[in-house]
Amino acid sequence: MSRQFILFIIIVQSYFCPCYSTLTLLTFRLFFTDIQDSLRVNEKMMQSNINMQEFVDRYLAYIENDKNYSLQTLRAYRNDLNQYLSFLKDEGCTNLSAVSRLQLRKYLAFLKKQNPSKSTVARKLASIRSLYKFLCQHGILELNPVEHIKTPKLDKKLPKFMSINDAENLLDQPDEGKLSGLRDKAIMETLYSTGMRVSELVGMNIADIDFRSGVVKVRGKGRKERILPIGNHALNAIQTYLGKRRAENTALFLNKFNGRLTERSVARMIEKYMKKGAMNLRVSPHTFRHSFATHLLDCGADLRAVQEFLGHSSLSTTQIYTHVTTERLKEVYDKAHPRA
């Protein structure tokens, strides 16, 4: 029986029996409320039919300006979401509100065929989940189809780090008779002395270093600033480099064209010295960060202090380094104890 017919019966009854008049008013109110809800849903659906790319662009602008995501995260999320939109278009779907869980699972199967790492799949799923959360929070969509899709369980890998001897060997490789060698020495000393990320290193300006106090200001993830202590070896290397440098630039580390150094350039530089030092361990800029944390904990540093140095928002992220030191203690015990 249709709502319109029920409404008609109640109106007729209220005409012959005044006691139905209150019920009639309530029925009219419910009826028109239902119409308003239908109009809202239709309006949202019409909004959802706007170019999907426009919604993605709005979301990316939001996480850049309001959430202060790093450039690396923005780049990764943009690539992930553009890949997702491309898949939906190939599936004949042009409306984000029409995406079903089945289509999302098909997308995950599509990713799996490309044989990416679990962390890559997890990041791609996180970017899509975050997009839908944004659309729901802003009233564009009502349901988040990603809400009940589980993220792949990641393998827990212990971070690779250098021994103290390996670190000293690598730091001795640059030719300090050249400006580039002085710069490279200063870069590696700074990475090892502070444990900062390579993105934080290349973003540093000369004014960020307080030589008198022995601290440096860095801008981490989400553009959050923190103050780090920096050792004398690193400070002396930086001062020597700046004393020989003639270029007028506020950036601390420059390339051969006197522009700000890039993360990729730092990675290539470290790889060059790794090969020169005939090291068995593959070293990246992040290896300095792992080594910094591991060596501090080995020498009795407080876990909370290491968390602050590294700029981790969660202590659980820092705790992985305690597993590294525990594993090393076990190795020493197995080798040294007569009844191990």
In a domain, 150, yes or no: no
The CATH code of the domain that includes 67 is: 1.10.150.130
Give the span between the Cα atoms of 55 and 66, in whole angstroms: 16
Q: Which two tokens stand for residue 207?
A: 């004014």
Partners of residue 227 on adjacent β-strands: 217
Active site residues: 197, 221, 286, 289, 312, 321
Sequence-ordered strand ranges (E) for 80-214: 209-210
Tell which of 88, 119, 137 closes a domain.
137
What is the pLDDT averaged over residues 195-200? 94
| Cα-based distances in Å from 15 to 2, 25, 26, 28 | 21, 13, 15, 15
In a domain, 42, yes or no: no
Whether the per-residue pLDDT at 26 is higher than 60: the answer is no
How many domains, in total, are found in the chain? 2
Same domain as 321, residue 274? yes
In a domain, 83, yes or no: yes
- Taking CB atoms within 8 Å and a gap of at least 24, the contacts of 267-275 are 267/198, 269/184, 269/187, 270/170, 270/188, 273/170, 273/173, 273/174, 273/184, 273/188, 274/170
Of the ranges 16-20, 38-42, 323-327, which is most confident? 323-327
Tell which of 137, 154, 182 closes a domain.
137
Give the span between the Cα atoms of 234 and 214, in whole angstroms: 10
The CATH code of the domain that includes 281 is: 1.10.443.10
In a domain, 34, yes or no: no
pLDDT band at 38, cuts 50/70/90?
very low
Domain extent for 231: 164-336
Same domain as 186, residue 116? no
**Which residue has better confidence, 269 or 71?**
269
Give the span between the Cα atoms of 82 and 153, in whole angstroms: 24
- 247 residue type, one letter: A
pLDDT score for 13: 53
Same domain as 329, residue 251? yes
pLDDT score for 185: 97
In a domain, 284, yes or no: yes
Whether the per-residue pLDDT at 315 is higher than 50: the answer is yes
Same domain as 215, residue 126? no
In a domain, 15, yes or no: no
**What percent of the chain lies above the pLDDT cut of 90?**
45
- Mean pLDDT estimate for the chain: 83
> Structure pTM?
0.68
Using DSSP's 3-state secondary structure scheme, residue 215 falls into strand
CB 209 within 8 A of CB 238: yes
How do the residues of the chain divide into helix, strand and coil, expressed in percent and rounded to 5? 65, 5, 30
Partners of residue 218 on adjacent β-strands: 226
In a domain, 47, yes or no: no
Same domain as 178, residue 120? no
Same domain as 201, residue 120? no
Same domain as 80, residue 182? no
In a domain, 36, yes or no: no
Sequence-ordered strand ranges (E) for the chain: 209-210, 215-219, 225-229
**Per-residue pLDDT tens over the stretch 145-169:** 888 888 877 777 778 889 999 999 9
Same domain as 325, residue 282? yes
**What percent of the chain lies above the pLDDT cut of 70?**
82
pLDDT band at 4, cuts 50/70/90?
low
Same domain as 205, residue 245? yes
Same domain as 312, residue 169? yes
R_g of the chain, CA atoms, integer Å: 30
Same domain as 243, residue 114? no
pLDDT score for 14: 53
CB 70 within 8 A of CB 197: no
User: Any idea which residue has 């006691």 for tokens?
Assistant: 19
**Per-residue pLDDT tens over the stretch 105-142:** 899 899 988 888 888 888 999 999 999 999 999 888 88
Same domain as 129, residue 187? no
